[in-house]
Amino acid sequence: MQATNLIDGRAIAAQIQAELAQRIAELKSRGIQPGLAFVRVGEDPASKVYVGRKEKVSAELGIYSETHVLPETTTESELLGLIAKLNADKRLHGILVQAPLPAHIRPAVVYSSVSPEKDVDGFHPLNLGKLMLGDPTGFEPCTPAGIRELLVRTGISTEGAHVVVLGRGNIVGKPLAAMLAQKARGANATVTICHSATRDIKAHCLRADILVAAIGVPLFVKADMVKPGAVVIDVGVNRVPDQTSPSGSKLVGDVDFAAVQPIAGKITPNPGGVGPMTIAMLMRNTVRAAESQAVQ
């Protein structure tokens, strides 16, 4: 496999975690241990894996974490009651409510109930508003922040670049577009958002200097949709049938990696690209929350 054009998310995440270790040590020298609460409702298999990975990195960095697992039948008011307790807990500087939530619970209500100062996932309306305004005092959503960090640390300039984002979701597509359009370092891009109602998505993709696939469709981006030399970022996590796997399925991205890699100037592997960066940004937000709350 040609590896020279791979963007190594694991290596860049490790750099960030090394930087965070120094900040955590400084906090601990002042008697402060960053604390992070995970809340998971139900037994979604992917959610269990994601929270497990976040717990592991927290432990490696010396961040105190606790996980609250609630049954699928938990009511919205019960979940809000737990979040109120976590908001008031001085040991905890960050709170993450793992998506997806059961259908009877409204995500917007839940995310709005997390204290903005502890909203290390960056989904509270106050933090999203700050993102839109270019106010750096808010917390940014972790996956978009991780994508921008990948670009910056790989030396990929977004200045004046045409970025095409496939997907208009609240977790990746919309916040990433807002970030990259800001008048700021690691931004200043011209951004196009494509979605299910976009006409001729292929034509838009072929104009992209940087193509971000966050559309939730397995292997959606094919070789004939990528401009030669373009940077391709694959955010997708899709489970598809695979008779050769013991589980009967496998995970693939939104990009047909084998076909696209020879054409791309730079490309993220999947796994090993965006995923580790999402966790690194969560840890960075948590450390920043601890630093901020320590001076209040």
Question: CA 147, 148, 150 angle in degrees (round to 5)?
Answer: 65
Residue 54 is among the residues annotated as catalytic for this protein: yes
The Cβ-side half-sphere exposure at 26, using a 13 Å CA radius, reads 10
Strands (E), 55-209: 64-70, 94-97, 162-166, 190-194
Which residue among the candidates 17, 98, 182, 261 is catalytic per the annotation? 98
Rounded to 5 degrees, what are φ and ψ at 83?
A: -60, -40
Per DSSP, the residues of 187-215 read: ---EEEEE-TT-S-HHHHHHT-SEEEE-S
Query: Quick one: CA torsion of 67, 99, 214, 269, rounded to 10 degrees?
Result: 30
Which residue among the candidates 17, 118, 119, 121 is catalytic per the annotation? Answer: 121
101: which DSSP letter?
A: P
**Catalytic pick among 17, 54, 254, 266:** 54
CA–CA separation, 268 vs 278, rounded Å?
A: 13
Q: Is 33 a catalytic residue?
A: no
Give ∠ CA 198-121-217 in degrees, rounded to 5: 30
Q: What is the DSSP letter of 17?
A: H
Q: For residues 12 and 263, what is the distance between their CA atoms, to the nearest angstrom? A: 23
* Residues with a known catalytic role: 54, 98, 121
